[in-house]
Structure formats: C-alpha cells, structure tokens
C-alpha cells in the first residue's frame, strides 16, 4: 500500500452519534492515526455537506492524497492495512480462521446496529406512515443478533475469556460495543436491560477505555 506522504491528515466526515462513523474513529484512535473530524450531520447540515459529500452518506474518509473512501467496512479494511504496514496487529486479522470469526461476529454486530438505525428512521416518519409490524420485525432481528453475540461471549466468559474472538480486542468487540452504545443512547427503551449480561460487561469495559472515551457518542 502506498503510505501517506502528504502532511494533510486523514479527514473523517460524520457525527459520532452514527455508530458507523464512531467505530471508524475509535479504530483510528487505537491505531494512532491522526485525523481531522468533520462533524457534519447528513440531515441537518446538508448545505455544508453537499460540496464535500453529495452522497449524504457517512462515514466518508478522505485520505491525505485526497482520495475519498465510503462504507465503514471498507474504511476499516483500509485502516487495517495501514496498521499492518506500520507493524501493528490489525483489529481484523488479515487471514485464517480468526479472520472469519471476527468478520462473522462483526457482521452480527452490524445487523443489530442496522436494525436499530432502521427502527430510528421508522420512528422519524409521520405517525400515520409508521408501520408497527415492520418495527416489530426490526426489533426481533436486532434482539436475535444481540442474543447470538451474547451466547458466544457468555460461552467464552465461562472458559475465562473476555473478548468475542481469541484473547485480544478485535473489531468484533469494537463494533458490538459501539452498536450497544448507539441503541442505549438513541433508543434506551429498545435495550432490554439485564438480558445480555456478557455484552453489557464488554460494553462497559470498552466504553471506559481511552479510545472509546476519546470518541464520545454525543460530541
Ligand atoms: N453501511 C454503511 C451505513 C452508513 C449509514 O447508514 N450511515 C447513516 C448515518 S448512521 C447515513 O449516512 N444516513 C444517511 C442516509 O443514508 O441517507 C456503512 O457502514 O458505512
């Protein structure tokens, strides 16, 4: 990969109340990649965003050479490669069974997160256009994804482990904790307190960590 040569830092576009933006910002913080945070809302600041990102979809990462990247999974893939080039262990292993496991656990976290975002969009519709059966389906999927993660983590915890995959922090843990943080922040009524104790413990631990504290959801 061609390393950044310019002095311009990476620039990350989007609010941290977006779980997709936040997981990228936390990952950059953990990797020690300095970045400028452009905190613009895709809904409330469209005029300011239009010249920068007329797609109105965040996160968007601008590289030091001006190249723009979209879709948080691909941003993370780029950052993992950058980390590996710098001799750091990527948060998603580059190959092997643990890569598959991290990707799959991350996929569950993203299903839960996307369903939560979809519930939020449904709630923003005029009351007469809301479809309760649809919200209920989304809620069922959200809970199913978190249940599957809880089952995995509770099993690992019984054997003394404290991460979703292997014995170190991975993207699966980060995306899961960020997803939980989003649900609890935006839709506290959708988080069934006490139902996912292993996930709650993981989220509490990570939210207290320096990298998560550096990227507050309400900034
Ligand atoms: N799959 C995308 C999802 C990103 C996403 O949905 N971002 C929301 C903010 S949470 C957004 O940009 N919404 C505006 C829109 O879709 O029009 C990713 O992971 O980057």
Does residue 117's CB lie within 6 angstroms of at least one atom of ligand 1?
A: yes
Assess contact for 184 and 217: CB atoms under 8 A.
Answer: no
Nearest CA to ligand 1 atom 9: 18
Determine the atom of ligand 1 nearest the C-alpha atom of 18. Answer: 10
Chain segment 169-218, per-residue pLDDT in tens: 999 999 999 999 999 999 999 998 899 999 999 999 999 999 999 999 98
**Could you tell me if 168 and 113 lie in one domain?**
yes
Residue 215, domain member (yes or no): no
Residue 113, domain member (yes or no): yes
Nearest CA to ligand 1 atom 11: 57
**Could you tell me if 35 and 102 lie in one domain?**
no
Nearest CA to ligand 1 atom 2: 71
Does residue 56's CB lie within 6 angstroms of at least one atom of ligand 1?
A: yes
Q: Which of 12, 20, 41, 181 to mutate to test the pocket of ligand 1 (most atoms within 8 A of CB)?
A: 20
**Could you tell me if 107 and 75 lie in one domain?**
no
Inter-axis angle of helices 97-124 and 171-186, to 10 degrees? 10
pLDDT at position 58 over 60: yes
DSSP assignment of the chain: -PPP-SSSPEEEES-TTSHHHHHHHHHHHHHT--EEEE---TTT-HHHHTTT-TT--S-EEE-TTS-EEESHHHHHHHHHHHHHHTTPPPSS-SSSHHHHHHHHHHHHHHHHHHHHHHHHHHHHS-GGG--HHHHHHHHHHHHHHHHHHHHHHHHHHHTT--SSSTTS--HHHHHHHHHHHHHHHH-GGGS-TTS-HHHHHHHHHHHTSHHHHTS-TT-
Determine the atom of ligand 1 nearest the C-alpha atom of 19. Answer: 10
Q: Binning pLDDT at 50, 70 and 90, where does residue 4 land?
A: very low
What percent of the chain lies above the pLDDT cut of 90?
A: 94
**Could you tell me if 79 and 120 lie in one domain?**
no
Among positive and negative, which fits the CA dihedral 197, 198, 203, 206?
A: positive
pLDDT at position 3 over 60: no
- What per-residue confidence (pLDDT) applies to 29? 98
Does residue 58's CB lie within 6 angstroms of at least one atom of ligand 1?
A: yes
CATH code of the domain containing 156? 1.20.1050.10
Of 8, 19, 17, 11, the residue nearest 176 (C-alpha)? 19
- What per-residue confidence (pLDDT) applies to 2? 40
Number of domains the chain contains = 2
Does residue 42's CB lie within 6 angstroms of at least one atom of ligand 1?
A: yes
Q: How far does residue 82's CA lie from ligand 1's centre (Å)?
A: 23
Q: Which pair of tokens denotes residue 140?
A: 């069922």
């Amino acid at each position: 990969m061609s390393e950044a040569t310019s002095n311009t830092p990476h620039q990350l576009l989007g609010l941290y109340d977006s779980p997709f933006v936040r997981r990228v910002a936390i990952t950059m913080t953990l990797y020690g990649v300095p970045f400028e945070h452009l905190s613009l809302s895709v809904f409330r600041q469209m005029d300011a965003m239009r010249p920068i990102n007329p797609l109105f979809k965040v996160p968007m990462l601008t590289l030091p050479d001006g190249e723009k990247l979209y879709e948080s999974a691909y941003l993370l893939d780029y950052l993992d490669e950058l980390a590996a080039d710098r001799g750091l262990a990527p948060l998603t292993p580059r190959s092997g069974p643990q890569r598959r496991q991290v990707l799959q656990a991350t996929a569950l976290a993203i299903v839960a997160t996307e369903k939560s975002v979809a519930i939020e969009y449904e709630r923003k519709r005029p009351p007469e256009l809301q479809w309760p059966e649809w919200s209920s389906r989304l809620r069922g999927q959200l809970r199913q994804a978190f249940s599957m993660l809880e089952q995995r983590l509770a099993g690992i915890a019984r054997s003394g482990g404290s991460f979703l995959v292997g014995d170190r922090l991975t993207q699966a843990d980060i995306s899961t904790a960020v997803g939980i943080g989003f649900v609890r922040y935006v839709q506290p009524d959708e988080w069934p307190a006490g139902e996912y104790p292993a996930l709650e413990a993981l989220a509490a631990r990570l939210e207290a960590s320096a990298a998560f504290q550096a990227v507050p959801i309400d900034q």
